[in-house]
């Protein structure tokens, strides 16, 4: 995986995590059904539109990553980085509990990613 493709992967991770965080902030404590009112909520809030646009950017970056690199490397690295980023964001923004097992797991993941790129 080249640095250019790795940057696309990082863009996909960043946009995915940012989109998820925005949706969590905007939609927390709302009971949403599949109806017209939900659709109105989605098209009336600029923050939700931004989250949707970020998801589209993430999808395009992810597609570029997939067609330009080994799938056996791209998918594990992407999912691992999304997990680590969501854990960090959840702890910082949403006051989610972080445990020693989560920290150890994230450390193992980051070591694994560095091993994948060192070979």
* pLDDT score of 85 more than 90: yes
What are the start-end ranges of the H helices in 28-45?
36-44
Q: Pick from 65, 109, 68, 57: which is nearest to 85 by CA?
A: 109
- Residue with token string 């680590």: 84
User: Please, are residues 11 and 57 in contact by the beta-carbon 8 Å criterion?
Assistant: yes
* Domain region containing 43: 3-118
- pLDDT for res 32: 67
Averaged pLDDT of the chain: 89
Residues of the chain above pLDDT 70, percent: 94
How many domains does the chain divide into?
1
CA neighbours closer than 13 Å in the CB half-sphere of residue 29? 1
pLDDT-derived band at 86 (thresholds 50, 70, 90) equals very high
pLDDT at 33 over 70: no
């Amino acid at each position: 995986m080249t640095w250019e493709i790795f940057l696309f992967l990082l863009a996909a991770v960043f946009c995915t995590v940012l989109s998820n965080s925005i949706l969590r902030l905007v939609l927390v404590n709302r009971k949403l059904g599949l109806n017209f009112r939900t659709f109105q909520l989605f098209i009336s809030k600029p923050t939700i539109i931004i989250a949707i646009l970020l998801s589209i950017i993430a999808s395009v970056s992810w597609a570029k990553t997939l067609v330009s690199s080994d799938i056996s490397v791209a998918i594990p690295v992407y999912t691992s980085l999304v997990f680590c980023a969501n854990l960090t964001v959840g702890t910082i923004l949403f006051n989610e509990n972080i445990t020693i097992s989560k920290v150890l797991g994230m450390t193992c993941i980051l070591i694994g990613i560095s091993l994948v790129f060192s070979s």
